[in-house]
Amino acid sequence: MPANTDTFSTSVASAVRAELGRQGLKPADLAGALGLSRPTVAGRLNGHTPFTADELDRAAELLGITAYDLIESAALGKRFGVTTSTPEVARITPPQDAWAQPSRSRSRRAS
């Protein structure tokens, strides 16, 4: 089965996964609440198949939040989760350690 290319439904799946993690729940707990098998829920959580509106409502009920909260979290993740090709951290070079030992990569001269 081909992967779902809808990035928003993938963001919704990420929001549901994140909220499950925050509350210490497992995908099996979600499967029980939705009345679906574990592999089906795994496909939803991995973003291969989008959640239906009814499934999203039941997931939100399990999590103690509203479906709107999940959708809003997905929208924020999509907006703020965008990274640049070169993160700023990668551009910063670490300072040289004043106590570092010299490199041993040079070969010794023949005596």
Interval 45-55: pLDDT, tens: 998 999 999 99
Q: Please state the domain count of the chain.
A: 1
86 inside domain: no
62 inside domain: yes
106 inside domain: no
With cut-offs at 50, 70 and 90, classify the pLDDT of residue 74: confident
14 inside domain: yes
**How does the average pLDDT of the chain come out, rounded?**
79
What lies within 8 Å, CB to CB, of 25 at 6+ separation is 62, 63
Instruction: State yes or no: pLDDT of 107 exceeds 90.
Output: no
Rg (C-alpha) for the chain, rounded Å, is 23
Structure-token match 């291969």, residue found: 48
Residue 36, domain CATH: 1.10.260.40
With cut-offs at 50, 70 and 90, classify the pLDDT of residue 90: low
d(CA 54, CA 11): 17
Q: Kindly report the CA angle at 63 between 39 and 74, in degrees rounded to 5?
A: 80
pLDDT score of 30: 95
| Residue numbers of the domain that contains 12 | 7-79
d(CA 70, CA 17): 10
Q: Kindly report the CA angle at 44 between 41 and 48, in degrees rounded to 5?
A: 130
pLDDT score of 1: 46
